[in-house]
Amino acid sequence: MKLLSKISILITFILFTLYNPASFSQNKPSGQISISGAFALYPMVIKWADEYKKINPDVRFDISAGGAGKGISDALNGMVEIGMVSREIYPEELKKGAFPIAITKDAVVAVVNELNPSINEIMTTGLTKDAASNIWITGKYTTWKQVFGGKSTAPVHIYTRSDACGAAEMWAKFFGKKQEDLLGVGVFGDPGLAQAVKKDQLGIGYNNIGYVYDSKTRQQLKGLKVVPIDLNNNGKIDSDEKFYDSLNDLIAAIASGKYPSPPARELYFVMKGSFVKNKIVTDFIRWVLSDGQKFVNEAGYISLPGERIETEIKKLK
Task: Tell me the pLDDT tens digit for each residue of 99-128.
Answer: 999 999 999 999 999 999 999 999 999 999
- Judge whether 257 lies within some domain: yes
Distance between CA 201 and CA 117 in Å, rounded?
Answer: 8
What confidence score (pLDDT) does residue 22 get?
39
Whether 144 shows a pLDDT value over 90: the answer reads yes
- Judge whether 124 lies within some domain: yes
55 and 188 share a domain?
Answer: no
As a three-state string, the secondary structure of the chain is CHHHHHHHHHHHHHHHHHHCHHHHHCCCCCEEEEEEECCCCHHHHHHHHHHHHHHCCCEEEEEEECCHHHHHHHHHCCCCCEEEECCCCCHHHHHCCEEEEEEEEEEEEEEEECCCCCHHHHHHHCECHHHHHHHHCCCCCCEHHHHHCCCCCCECEEEEECCCCHHHHHHHHCCCCCHHHCCCEEECHHHHHHHHHHHCCCEEEEEEHHHCECCCCCEECCCEEECCECCCCCCCCCHHHCCCCEHHHHHHHHHHCCCCCCCEEEEEEEEEHHHCCCHHHHHHHHHHHCHHHHHCCCCCCECCCHHHHHHHHHHCC
Distance between CA 223 and CA 225 in Å, rounded?
Answer: 7
113 and 249 share a domain?
Answer: yes
Q: Are strands 185-187 and 157-161 parallel, antiparallel or unpaired?
A: parallel
Domain count, the chain: 2
306 and 281 share a domain?
Answer: yes
- Judge whether 117 lies within some domain: yes
Whether 63 shows a pLDDT value over 90: the answer reads yes
Distance between CA 105 and CA 90 in Å, rounded?
Answer: 18
Confidence of residue 274 (pLDDT cuts 50, 70, 90): low
Residue pLDDT, tens place only, 239-267: 999 999 999 999 999 999 999 999 999 99
CATH of the domain at 201: 3.40.190.10
Confidence of residue 1 (pLDDT cuts 50, 70, 90): very low
Average pLDDT estimate for 304-309: 95
- Residue 8 exposed, middle or buried by CB count within 10 Å (0-12, 13-18, 19+): exposed
What confidence score (pLDDT) does residue 30 get?
86
Average pLDDT estimate for 157-164: 97
243 and 98 share a domain?
Answer: no
What confidence score (pLDDT) does residue 277 get?
74
Distance between CA 58 and CA 66 in Å, rounded?
Answer: 26
Distance between CA 252 and CA 191 in Å, rounded?
Answer: 24
- Judge whether 19 lies within some domain: no
Owning domain of residue 53: 32-106+265-315
Residue pLDDT, tens place only, 6-42: 444 444 444 444 334 433 345 777 899 999 999 999 9
What confidence score (pLDDT) does residue 107 get?
97
98 and 114 share a domain?
Answer: no
- Judge whether 152 lies within some domain: yes
- Judge whether 270 lies within some domain: yes
70 and 113 share a domain?
Answer: no
Mean pLDDT for the chain overall: 91
What confidence score (pLDDT) does residue 280 get?
94
- Find, among 97, 35, 95, the residue nearest to 66 by Cα: 35
- Judge whether 8 lies within some domain: no
249 and 303 share a domain?
Answer: no
Average pLDDT estimate for 202-208: 98
Cα dist from 203 to 30, 154, 239, 293, whole Å: 47, 11, 26, 35
CB within 8 Å of 100: residues ≥ 6 apart:
85, 89, 94, 268, 269, 270
Confidence of residue 85 (pLDDT cuts 50, 70, 90): very high
132 and 254 share a domain?
Answer: yes
113 and 177 share a domain?
Answer: yes
How many Å separate Cα 105 from the centre of its chain? 7
CB within 8 Å of 249: residues ≥ 6 apart:
243
Domain boundary among 223, 239, 264: 264
- Judge whether 38 lies within some domain: yes
How many residues can be counted in the chain? 317
Whether 197 shows a pLDDT value over 50: the answer reads yes
197 and 127 share a domain?
Answer: yes
Confidence of residue 212 (pLDDT cuts 50, 70, 90): very high
What confidence score (pLDDT) does residue 260 get?
95
Confidence of residue 217 (pLDDT cuts 50, 70, 90): very high
Whether 174 shows a pLDDT value over 80: the answer reads yes
48 and 118 share a domain?
Answer: no
244 and 173 share a domain?
Answer: yes
Average pLDDT estimate for 229-240: 96
Average pLDDT estimate for 180-207: 98
The strand pairing partners of 229, in sequence order, are: 127
